[in-house]
């Protein structure tokens, strides 16, 4: 039976929404009843300049999320997918010409006006002094003033502006490696998704610093090169290399029939199980933050949610207008909606400090990323008829298609 047309029997994917809710609740509960365990696991991280960049438990889960996707890709198809110019140019335009500026506008409106009273009109945050700047106590810099906090010169800024800075850092860091998972679940073109992730990641190396410095008004924004390259290497390159070589070895040793009928059958639930485990870990790590600051989390989450929905809608509508096939349109729209939160967190910590409001805002981005993107996957699968498809839709060349939901 064609893998793409058979009914889904995997209970984890069939009832994914239910499992996601249970895992979020379970993660928060785990952080509450076993805080020491959650803190120990959260502390297992690779840091760059004092900022935790790669969580080792999350990296393990992400590997098992990515590997089943990567091993299905015939990498000759990646070269062919790279010739699909329209979806690639669409993601570049949305990610770099639209997304950063809509993030500033939406976050400024909600944090600076709508929610400012709830955040506290006089509430302040103490952040690190800008790199290379040594001002006397009492001097002003931008919207802040230099003060002594526990004997250290800090910049005192309105708290809502600190949250705004964190939102901006998320807005200029698109396209996390998990887009490969969202594209897979939406039954998109895995080869093309990989190409778009790679190109946008390379573009981020060039534009992240200048664009972030301009929008934040901090002069030359220091680009966390090490953090960016490390996260790409661990979250994308490692499962990519493992998938490529293991596919090559298995096909040579066992043949294509065994690979498709036996090996891939066993791998089918692995991506979903790893995704659910990631949810438990993420929410257990931040359970204390959620329970102690529920309204603060809400004020930050609302503009981030609206931004995500807007960017997805713009990308999806543009893909429809360009008459892209569904398999290209779905991942192209989700690449813009997703955020590279690892880089955003590292930058916020380096610029403003680990306990700053900016760092908290980037953490909120992590918490809403998975449930919101799963919602967008559901929207994609329900609207695939909007896009032109051949009568018998071929699987992207060399890619074993994920199963169709019942």
- The pair phi, psi for residue 157, each rounded to 5°, is -130, 155
**Of 315, 358, 373, nearest in space to 215 by CA:** 358
Per-residue model confidence (pLDDT) at position 100 = 94
The CATH number for 11-121+162-386, chosen from 2.60.40.180, 3.40.30.10, 1.20.1530.20, 2.60.120.200, is 1.20.1530.20
Confidence of residue 288 (pLDDT cuts 50, 70, 90): confident
Helices assigned H by DSSP within 186-293: 190-216, 225-232, 238-254, 256-258, 264-267, 270-285, 287-292
Mean pLDDT value across residues 358-373: 88
CA–CA distance, 352 with 354 (Å, rounded to integer): 7
pLDDT at 97: 94
The lowest-confidence range among 90-99, 138-147, 378-387 is 138-147
Q: Measuring CA to CA, which residue among 171, 179, 203, 169 is closest to residue 334?
A: 179
Length, in residues, of the chain: 406
Cα distances from 115 to residues 13, 93, 104, 161, in angstroms, run 37, 30, 15, 12
Average pLDDT (107-127) is: 91
Least confident window among 181-195, 231-245, 381-395: 381-395
When pLDDT is cut at 50, 70 and 90, the band that residue 81 belongs to is low
User: In this model, does residue 220 exceed pLDDT 50?
Assistant: no
**Per-residue pLDDT averaged across 214-239, rounded?**
69
Q: Which residues pair with 156 in a beta bridge?
A: 126, 145
Which range among 288-292, 301-305, 342-346 has the greatest average pLDDT? 301-305
> pLDDT > 70: what percent of the chain?
85
What pLDDT is stored for residue 75 in this prediction? Answer: 66
Where are the strands (E) in 62-136, listed by range? 124-127
Instruction: Say how far apart CA 280 and CA 30 lie, in whole Å.
Output: 8
How far apart are alpha carbons 200 and 204 in whole angstroms? 6
The widest CA-to-CA distance across the chain, in whole angstroms, is: 73
Interatomic CA distance for residues 58 and 62, integer angstroms: 6
What SS3 class is residue 228?
helix
pLDDT confidence of residue 389: 63
Residue 82 or 30, more confident: 30
Q: How far apart are CA 181 and CA 5, in angstroms?
A: 20
- What value does the mean pLDDT take over residues 112-134? 84
Are 186 and 334 in contact by the 8 Å Cβ rule? The answer is yes
More confident residue, 337 or 130: 337
CA nearest to 337, candidates 175, 188, 207, 211: 175
pLDDT, tens digit (0-9, with 9 covering 90-100), for 172-197: 888 777 888 888 889 888 888 888 88
Cα(333)–Cα(383) distance, rounded to whole angstroms? 13
| Extents of the domains making up the chain | 11-121+162-386
For 59-79, what is the mean pLDDT?
78
Which DSSP string do the residues of 239-255 spell out, in sequence order? HHHHHHHHHHHHHHHH-
Percent of the chain with pLDDT over 90: 26
């Amino acid at each position: 039976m064609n893998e793409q047309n058979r009914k889904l029997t995997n209970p984890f994917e069939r009832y994914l929404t239910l499992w996601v809710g249970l895992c979020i609740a379970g993660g928060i509960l785990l952080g509450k009843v076993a805080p020491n365990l959650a803190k120990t696991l959260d502390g297992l991280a690779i840091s760059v300049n004092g900022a935790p960049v790669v969580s080792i438990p999350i990296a393990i889960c992400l590997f098992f999320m990515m590997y089943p996707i990567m091993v299905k890709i015939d990498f000759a198809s990646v070269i062919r997918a790279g010739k699909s110019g329209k979806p690639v140019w669409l993601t570049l335009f949305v990610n770099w010409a639209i997304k950063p500026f809509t993030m500033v506008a939406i976050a400024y409106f909600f944090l600076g006006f709508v929610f400012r009273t709830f955040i506290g009109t006089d509430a302040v945050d103490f952040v690190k002094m800008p790199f290379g700047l040594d001002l006397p106590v009492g001097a002003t810099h931008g919207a802040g003033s230099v003060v002594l906090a526990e004997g250290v010169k800090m910049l005192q800024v309105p708290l809502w502006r600190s949250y705004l800075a964190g939102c901006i850092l998320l807005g200029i860091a698109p396209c996390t490696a998990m887009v490969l998972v969202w594209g897979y679940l939406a039954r998109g073109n895995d080869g093309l998704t990989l190409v778009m992730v790679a190109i946008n990641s390379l573009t981020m190396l060039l534009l992240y610093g200048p664009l972030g410095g301009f929008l934040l008004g901090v002069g030359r924004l220091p680009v966390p090169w090490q953090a960016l390259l490390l996260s790409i290497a661990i979250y994308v390159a490692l499962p990519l290399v493992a998938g490529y070589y293991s596919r090559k070895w298995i096909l040579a040793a066992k043949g294509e029939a065994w690979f498709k009928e036996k090996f891939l059958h066993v791998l089918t639930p692995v991506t979903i199980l790893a995704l659910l485990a990631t949810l438990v870990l993420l929410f257990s790590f931040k359970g204390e933050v959620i329970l102690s600051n529920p309204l603060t989390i809400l004020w930050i989450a609302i503009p981030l949610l609206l931004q995500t929905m807007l960017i997805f809608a713009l990308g999806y509508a543009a893909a429809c207008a360009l008459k892209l096939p569904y398999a290209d349109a779905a991942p192209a729209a989700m690449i813009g909606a997703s955020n590279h939160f690892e880089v955003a967190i590292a930058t916020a910590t380096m610029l403003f400090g680990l306990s700053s409001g900016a760092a908290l805002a980037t953490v909120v981005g992590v918490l809403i990323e998975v449930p919101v993107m799963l919602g967008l996957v559901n929207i994609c699968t329900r609207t695939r008829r909007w896009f032109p498809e051949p009568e018998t839709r071929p699987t992207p060349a060399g890619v074993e298609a994920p199963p169709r939901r019942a």
